[in-house]
Structure 1
Amino acid sequence: MIRILLVDDQSLIRQGLKAMLSLESDLEIIGMAENGEEAVTQVETLQPDIVLMDVRMPVMNGATATRIICEKYPNTKVLVLSTYDDDYDVSEAIRAGAKGYLLKDMPSEELVNAIRSINRGYAQLAPGLLERVVIKKSPQPSQAESVPPALALLTRRELDVARLVAIGATNLEIAEKLFITESTVKTHINSIFNRLNIKNRSQLAIYANSDCLPNLSSG
């Protein structure tokens, strides 16, 4: 059973989500909050598996609440569900530690599947957000340009893995492309996260968007 906390400042949205998600036999709505401050308090008390988090709320916004929850309660995963697809909102949520960012106009069955995927440890972004916010095209750096200090700590293979993670490849896809095992892929990813001081694949994608990964679109 996936235990979910719903966070939205609109009562109608909260009740609608509760009614819809409660139809699924493996999902349980254990609480609701109308702002980020209430969400943090309820996470401490209820320890949900997933927080379905709105972004723009009074008292405390979703990004701030997400950062607090991810830092204090690492076993709870945050999935943002928002009306807004503003680049800043998306980036702030992912940087705060959210495992995904979806839009409220998405089909209900896709939201349910996204919740299950997040619970299994995968990241989820609404269609179009990855291309627009995370891996925007940028001029290719010349060979003479220096590698940023953090990336100088990565091996050649780790850079290859990082590029593929940043464009949304699964561990299996990375293993097949680089002719290595999935276990080796996982080892490389954990090493990359530790060296770059990031927590998840979505944050790596944001990191790549800052032009830190050379030749991101190559290969």
Structure 2
Amino acid sequence: MEKVRLIIAEDEAPLREHLAEILRNEATLDLLGCAADGEQALQLAMQFEPQVALMDIKMPRMNGIEATRRIKYALPSVQVVIWTIYADDQNVFEALKAGAIGYLLKDSPPDEIVQGIHAAARGESQ
């Protein structure tokens, strides 16, 4: 089975590092890079052309909604999954309108995060 190539964007360093550690330890995933804001996420997407981008919404410099819009415009094949605290956040709906395929809650167990990433890579919304 080919590894799913992905990037993550999360402005809170401890959470970003914890998530990166979980994803690096998953044999079916290839974590290409971590961004601290939307601009970095866009740069990483352009550099690596990942299959999946796991995207926080509220970040400095460029928020996740605008980063999603720009990534989907430049690289339509990249599946953006929103990484959020609240499922009913109005921002989630804005991100879906911007081109995100779905969302994952930040308190999801690691296996659900991995499953969500794989589903997105297959083009399935969650």
TM range (shorter): over 0.9
Flag the structure with higher helix content: 1
Quote the residue 1:97 is aligned against. 99
Residue 87 of structure 1, CA deviation:
3.5
| Correspondences of 1:154-165 after superposition (within 5 Å) | none
Quote the residue 2:72 is aligned against. 70
CA shift digits 1:26-64 (9 cap, x unpaired): 101110110101111111111111101000111110001
Would the alpha carbon gap of residues 5 and 100 (structure 1) be closer, same or farther in structure 2, given more than 3 Å must change?
same
Quote the residue 2:40 is aligned against. 38
Flag the structure with higher strand content: 2
Quote the residue 1:5 is aligned against. 7
Higher relative contact order (CA 8 A, sep 6+): 2
Within the candidate set 116, 119, 122, 1:120 is matched to: 122
- The normalised TM-score by structure 2 is 0.94
Residue 71 of structure 1, CA deviation:
1.1
C-alpha distance in structure 2 between counterparts of 1:103 and 1:66, whole Å:
17
Residue 13 of structure 1, CA deviation:
1.2
C-alpha distance in structure 1 between counterparts of 2:73 and 2:114, whole Å:
25
On the 8 A contact 1:93/1:101 being kept in 2, the answer is no
| Segments ≥4 residues shifted beyond 6 Å | none
For structure 2, the residue ranges without an aligned partner over 5 or more in a row are none
Quote the residue 1:107 is aligned against. 109
C-alpha distance in structure 1 between counterparts of 2:124 and 2:87, whole Å:
20
Quote the residue 1:29 is aligned against. 31
| Correspondences of 1:171-186 after superposition (within 5 Å) | none
CA shift digits 1:63-115 (9 cap, x unpaired): 01001101110111101111233431111010000011121011111111111
- The normalised TM-score by structure 1 is 0.55
**Higher-Rg member (1/2):** 1
C-alpha distance in structure 1 between counterparts of 2:86 and 2:59, whole Å:
12
CA shift digits 1:114-143 (9 cap, x unpaired): 11111011001xxxxxxxxxxxxxxxxxxx
For structure 1, the residue ranges without an aligned partner over 5 or more in a row are 125-219
Residue 24 of structure 1, CA deviation:
1.4
Q: Number of residue pairs matched?
A: 124
Residue 23 of structure 1, CA deviation:
1.7
Within the candidate set 52, 55, 72, 1:53 is matched to: 55
| Correspondences of 1:187-206 after superposition (within 5 Å) | none
